[in-house]
A and B are shown apart, each in its own frame.
Chain A
Amino acid sequence: MTRYVIQRLILLVGTLVGVLTVTFFLTHILPGSPEAMIIGRRPTEDQIAAVRHALGLDLPLWQQYLRFLGEIFQGNFGKSFLTSQPVLQDIGQKLMATVELTTLAMIMIIVIGIPIGVLSAVEANKPIDHVVRTLSVMGVALPSFMLGMMLQMLFYGYLRWLPLQGRMTSTVLLDHPFPYVTGLYLVDTLLAGDTLAFRDALAHIVLPLATLTLALLPLIARTTRNLMVEVLSEDFVRTNFAYGMPRRDIYFRYALKATLIPLLTVIGLTYGYLLGGAIVAEYVFDWPGIGSYVVRAIIQSDYPAAIGVTLFLATAYLVINLIVDLLYFFVDPRLRTS
């Protein structure tokens, strides 16, 4: 297994260098004028020349590439043209906002989606199954920006139960300072023992969390259902029934366990997708995460930010996949012995 992990890590580094190379050349070959973004309004030719020189943009492309690789290996991703802040710092700040939202969404999706999938499989082709399948199709078909806006209209505009946007109320953010320990507001406010700030952060996360959860829950529920339907027709399940074992044990301890390998793959891919794909929810709810950052970076040719986020997301995706692959060893004893 150690050898397997080492092989995967070497492959991971190779993939990342490939991603870096492709991203570098794509961002540098496409037309654009980052100087205007850095300097502002109406740069003079002298200012443009100075900025181009400072960024090395006046060098041949291959020299820029070597310089870029050197900088990256020293951990220097440069400064964002749009925010003027170091890219790593930007990513660090925005990452935790995204991690907080997507991790909670993933937990909700698993906690709700898997039981629904199991229920649907157990009740296959019965009314409950039809309802679940219909709702799943509707959930998949409804664009998440639409869902987000509908939730905003209902819970903010009409019922006035929940806040509209952001991570925290302005005055709470100002008057209830809490130490930035993890960057996860829910955790940091709890650590600070500030219940008001915690409740405020919780209120702010509900709608974007619901949007993400409702958008991706059908995928897990349907996958679980289909896998379970297959497993429930297996001999060992019938044997369990014949022995008179409790139904809940059969479904959740034995049958569900048999679906875990493909299910873990889907969950891993979904989480990886969520890290970079929460863009719409982040935009609609002004959630200051990595999704909205990367969109602006790409649209406005903010090379350092676009490259930094691409590298980060590629790494996250590969690491999540590696973790999922390693989890197979724990889930399936046959893999450990082979």
Chain B
Amino acid sequence: MFRVSRWTAAALIGAWSALALPAPQALADASTITVIDGIDVKDWDTALTYGHESYVMNNIYDGLLRYNTAAGKLEPALATEWSVSADGLKWTYKIRQGVKYHSGEDLNAKAIATVLSHYIKTGGGAHYLWGGATVEAVDDWTLTITTKEALPIDLISSGSYACMLTSPSLIAKGSEAIQKGLADGTGPYKLVQWVPNQQIVLERNKDYWGGWTGGEADRIIVRIVSEVSTQLQMLRSGEADLGFATIPFDMVETLKKDPALKVAVVDSWQYLQGPINTKKPPTDNLKIRKAIQHLIDYDTITSQIYAGLASVPKSGTPMAMPGAKELDIPRFDIEKAKQLIEESGVPPEQRKITWVAYGGVDVLKNVALLFQANAKKAGLEVEIVQGDWGVMWDKQKKIETSANVYPYRNWPDYATITPAATLKTQEKVSFNFSYYSDPEVDAWIDEGTRMEAVDKAKSSEAWSKAYQKAIDDGAFVDIADTLRVIPHRANLEGVTTDPAYETVFFRFLKKKE
């Protein structure tokens, strides 16, 4: 009935010839490293950058200082020396000489003053941390930063978000133009291409002031791949060298068995904190709050839910953070919790709390379910409330719609353990999700903040007291201190991360043939 005409045959042959397609993406050579991540850069404008894109930006831009977590101290970056006045209000930086921006422009104190002043004036991203400081160039290589109150400018100027130093000429182009994909830093890699939602290409800055040892990648390609299973397939096939996105914890063991891959497990300053609402019944009752603290099964959470990729909290913040001190943390004890609930005076029909598990994050849901099961044994009913982070955050900021327990992933903007955002009395709640207010704790927090500029040991002492008092008052419970997992090809060496910077430093990566 149907005859294949000559035209049809020709078309079919033509189509087949066209489909003599190139092989799947050719494996990159040693001078190119392909990194995969699920989220594209949102803000190229460093005055606004305050999100996930820091993993790219921290390879393009440098700050004045760097925080070396292994050594537990600050190190020079674009500034070679720094000092602070006795009152902690005036900071002086000596600027590194002979550094050029990727555009060829010279770096000097005047350029930095222009850029930092712009950041502070616009107040976007994490630049509120500068507290309206005044930045001045004393001469070509000396910079002063003056603040109205004592601030840890040394730490802030080493932060991942607050001090990405771009060039004055880029700023002059305006935010609108920069957001279309412009970058001009002094870092080890420079931006050469951005195809939105597809890829970012960085090229080695041969004149990098930090120097090169040889064998580093000339080109870094960041592919945006949203699906985790696709990311893993690309890693396994060798099409990608390193995966930056979060992979499910239960996949880690499987990945470790693949001889072509390695899984780097590194320290992190991220932790799962669980503020307990002190104003909302029944958690306005101290004994109920204390009972909740005893119902956290740390061992199961860290070993099972996090598959060993988290540690049991010992302080108010991860112990990996500078200044963190071991504190007296209530331990898992269902019987004790049961007793506290009985003693609370809360009638049995009112022993019901809400627990937030936002964003469809599996770990948060599993923690909530485990807590729900344990609480049931102690006579406390738990309703798990789920929703997008933005929605849940908005609700938690209003007492009438807030939940009793609001576990969320927390981390600092720079190397600090300050509890100012989470435990200090707030008229309008932003991150004090426990609605906690205690004059003594407020005083310690203020003391720690004052001292952070001039005496970090005293500062952490004051803050540790604040944390301990808040724990004793049942204002929060730290649930897990998490680690970071970075899968990569076995032939990739130098996978170096730093919990202070949510990134992998591309300049240390070397691919062996």
Chains A and B bind each other: yes
Say whether B391 contacts A33, CB under 8 Å.
yes
Say whether A300 contacts B21, CB under 8 Å.
no
Say whether A33 contacts B393, CB under 8 Å.
yes
Contact of A248 among B1, B25, B221, B391 (CB under 8 A): B1
| 15-43 of chain B: CB within 8 A of chain A | 18-19, 21-26, 28, 32, 34, 40, 42-43
Contact of A162 among B21, B49, B230, B413 (CB under 8 A): B21
CA distance A40 to B223 in the complex (A): 22
Say whether A286 contacts B230, CB under 8 Å.
yes
- Most chain B CB inside 10 Å of its own CB: which residue of A34, A149, A203: A203
| 5-36 of chain A: CB within 8 A of chain B | 30-34, 36
Say whether A203 contacts B390, CB under 8 Å.
no
Give the residues in chain B near A240, CB-CB below 8 Å.
Answer: none
Give the residues in chain B near A45, CB-CB below 8 Å.
Answer: 428, 430
Check: A257 CB closer than 8 A to any chain B CB: no
Check: B141 CB closer than 8 A to any chain A CB: no
Say whether A288 contacts B391, CB under 8 Å.
no
Check: A98 CB closer than 8 A to any chain B CB: no
Say whether A174 contacts B221, CB under 8 Å.
yes
Given that A41-B161, A170-B199, A301-B390 are known contacts, is A164 also in contact with B126, CB under 8 Å in the complex? Answer: no
Say whether A36 contacts B2, CB under 8 Å.
no
Give the residues in chain A near B126, CB-CB below 8 Å.
Answer: 40-42
Interface window among B89-97, B106-114, B231-239, B308-316: B231-239
Say whether A40 contacts B18, CB under 8 Å.
no
Given that A156-B237, A199-B22, A288-B197 are known contacts, is A247 also in contact with B223, CB under 8 Å in the complex? Answer: no
Say whether A170 contacts B221, CB under 8 Å.
yes
Number of interface residues of A (CB under 8 A): 63
Contact of A199 among B21, B224, B393 (CB under 8 A): B21
Main secondary structure of the interface of A (DSSP, over half): helix
Check: B196 CB closer than 8 A to any chain A CB: yes
Check: B128 CB closer than 8 A to any chain A CB: yes
Give the residues in chain A near B237, CB-CB below 8 Å.
Answer: 156-157, 160, 164
Check: B388 CB closer than 8 A to any chain A CB: yes
Say whether B227 contacts A283, CB under 8 Å.
yes
Given that A40-B50, A157-B233, A286-B226 are known contacts, is A170 also in contact with B25, CB under 8 Å in the complex? Answer: yes
Interface window among A78-86, A136-144, A270-278, A317-325: A78-86
CA distance A34 to B391 in the complex (A): 9
B-side interface size class: 35 or more
Say whether A33 contacts B394, CB under 8 Å.
yes
Main secondary structure of the interface of B (DSSP, over half): loop
Given that A45-B430, A247-B1 are known contacts, is A203 also in contact with B22, CB under 8 Å in the complex? Answer: yes
Check: A166 CB closer than 8 A to any chain B CB: yes
For residue B196, give the distance in angstroms from its CB to the closest CB of chain A.
Answer: 6
Q: Mark A175-209, 1 if CB is under 8 A from B, else 0.
A: 00000000000000000000010011011001000
Say whether A156 contacts B233, CB under 8 Å.
yes
Contact of B225 among A248, A286, A301 (CB under 8 A): A286
Contact of A171 among B21, B49, B221, B421 (CB under 8 A): B221
Give the residues in chain B near A44, CB-CB below 8 Å.
Answer: 128, 430
Contact of A32 among B180, B197, B201, B388 (CB under 8 A): B388
For residue B224, give the distance in angstroms from its CB to the closest CB of chain A.
Answer: 7
CA distance A161 to B197 in the complex (A): 24
Give the residues in chain B near A93, CB-CB below 8 Å.
Answer: 196
Say whether B234 contacts A164, CB under 8 Å.
yes
Closest to A292 in B: B226
Closest to A299 in B: B388
Contact of B124 among A39, A152, A173, A286 (CB under 8 A): A39
Check: A213 CB closer than 8 A to any chain B CB: no
Given that A41-B413, A149-B229 are known contacts, is A161 also in contact with B24, CB under 8 Å in the complex? Answer: yes
Give the residues in chain A near B3, CB-CB below 8 Å.
Answer: 248
Closest to B395 in A: A31
- Most chain A CB inside 10 Å of its own CB: which residue of B50, B125, B197, B391: B197
CA distance A266 to B344 in the complex (A): 66
Contact of A40 among B43, B195, B198, B221 (CB under 8 A): B43
CA distance A291 to B286 in the complex (A): 49
Given that A33-B394, A170-B223 are known contacts, is A164 also in contact with B51, CB under 8 Å in the complex? Answer: no
Give the residues in chain A near B223, CB-CB below 8 Å.
Answer: 166, 170
CA distance A127 to B59 in the complex (A): 63
| 120-172 of chain B: CB within 8 A of chain A | 123-126, 128, 161
Check: B425 CB closer than 8 A to any chain A CB: no
CA distance A61 to B394 in the complex (A): 18
CA distance A168 to B22 in the complex (A): 11
Check: B303 CB closer than 8 A to any chain A CB: no
Check: B69 CB closer than 8 A to any chain A CB: no
Say whether B128 contacts A47, CB under 8 Å.
yes
Say whether A47 contacts B123, CB under 8 Å.
yes
Check: A37 CB closer than 8 A to any chain B CB: yes
Binding site for A on B (CB under 8 A): 1-3, 18-19, 21-26, 28, 32, 34, 40, 42-43, 45, 48-51, 123-126, 128, 161, 179-180, 192-193, 195-199, 201, 221, 223-227, 229-230, 233-234, 237, 239, 388-391, 393-395, 413, 421, 428, 430-431
Question: 12 more A-B contacts (CB under 8 A) besides A40-B49, A164-B25, A166-B223?
Answer: A31-B395, A34-B390, A40-B43, A42-B126, A82-B42, A85-B196, A94-B197, A174-B192, A174-B221, A284-B227, A286-B224, A288-B197
Q: List 17 A-B contacts (CB under 8 A).
A: A40-B43, A40-B50, A42-B126, A45-B428, A45-B430, A47-B124, A82-B42, A84-B45, A85-B179, A94-B197, A149-B229, A157-B237, A163-B24, A163-B25, A165-B234, A170-B34, A173-B193
Binding site for B on A (CB under 8 A): 30-34, 36-37, 39-48, 50, 82-85, 90, 93-94, 115, 119, 122, 149, 152, 156-157, 160-171, 173-174, 196, 199-200, 202-203, 206, 247-248, 283-284, 286, 288, 292-293, 299-301
9 interchain residue pairs of minimum CB distance? A40-B50, A203-B21, A33-B390, A288-B197, A40-B51, A33-B394, A170-B221, A169-B25, A163-B24
